[in-house]
Amino acid sequence: MRWGSRFHKSPPARTEMTVPQHPVRFAPWVGARYTEGVHGLRMLLVCESHYGQKEHERPTVTPEIIKALALGQAHPLATAKPGKHAHFTKIRTAVTKARPDGASLDTQGFWQCIAYYNYLQEFVSACRKAPPKSAWGRSESAFSEVVSVLAPDLIVCFSKRNGKKVRSLSKGTPVAVVNHPSSRFAYHRAKPAIAKGIEEALARGLHVSEFSSSPTYDIWCRATASALPTPLANLSPPHIDELRQARMKAMKALDNYHRLVPPSGIE
């Protein structure tokens, strides 16, 4: 029998599906001088995702990559020193040179003064492969927690396709949205957009001294300080499996913790 025939029954009401949410699985990079800021503002820089197989997910992946590919540091067991990646050079240049009076920070100084976070809290299998649509929704609560804990004065989102989502979760924080460094990125478009965000944030009269620390903030700071640079592929065979096992163990421990103590919603 079809709905609305003999007994004039109405179809059952549709209920909203709740998207399962990730906690913060990959700790953000939090520079040692984050509270001092850049251009007089605490800045949270947001990109999209990490790439790789799930077995290489680990809680400290973000600071590991910053140390290797932004700062050029080598893992103690690596057979070669990594080169700095253009992704991070473009980000630093776009932010520091956004205003004519540009912040005079070298590479080390810049990364110590900002926070950096990849929005998706699960690995994407390959570079240039679009993440599954559901992954964006699953990472909403994690991003909300990052914004609440870091209390940035300005968010710079290096992703056009994720800009609307980041703005909706920014809790009123000004957001500058520019292209991802690997997707039609150009300084002549990125710097004015970031400069506009800086001016908006400064006009609000916020000041970096208003920041209040928290236990979660302290954990992320320690994770940033203690993480070893990722060795990339520069490991001798005896150490490869050992590193993979250590990563899986660390990620499993954090995921199990979150299952036992699920994060309470942060408004």
State mean pLDDT over 121-137.
83
pLDDT digits (tens, 9 = 90+) for 160-197: 999 999 999 999 999 999 999 988 899 999 999 999 99
CATH code for the domain in which residue 239 is found: 3.40.470
> CA of 134: how far to CAs of 70, 74, 170, 254, in Å?
30, 35, 20, 22
Residue 51, domain member (yes or no): yes
This prediction's pTM:
0.88
Residue 6, domain member (yes or no): no
Residue 213, domain member (yes or no): yes
Q: Which domain holds residue 104?
A: 29-259
Q: Are 23 and 141 in contact (CB under 8 A)?
A: yes
Give the pLDDT confidence score for residue 178 in this predicted structure: 96
Report how far residue 11's alpha carbon sits from residue 7's, in angstroms, rounded to the nearest whole number. 12
Report how far residue 221's alpha carbon sits from residue 83's, in angstroms, rounded to the nearest whole number. 25
Report how far residue 99's alpha carbon sits from residue 117's, in angstroms, rounded to the nearest whole number. 23
Give the pLDDT confidence score for residue 3 in this predicted structure: 32
Give the pLDDT confidence score for residue 208 in this predicted structure: 53
Residue 264, domain member (yes or no): no
Place of tokens 């421990």: 253
Report the half-sphere exposure of 201 (CA within 13 A, side-chain side). Answer: 27
SS (H, E, C) 121-155: CCCECCCCCCCCHHHHHHCHHHHHHHHHHHCCCEE
Residue 19, domain member (yes or no): no
pLDDT digits (tens, 9 = 90+) for 53-67: 899 999 999 999 999
Tell me how many domains the chain contains.
1
Residue 157, domain member (yes or no): yes
Residue 24, domain member (yes or no): no
| Sheet of 29-30, strands arranged across | 29-30, 115-118, 43-47, 154-158, 175-178
Give the pLDDT confidence score for residue 190 in this predicted structure: 95
Give the pLDDT confidence score for residue 256 in this predicted structure: 93
Give the pLDDT confidence score for residue 16 in this predicted structure: 38
Residue 18, domain member (yes or no): no
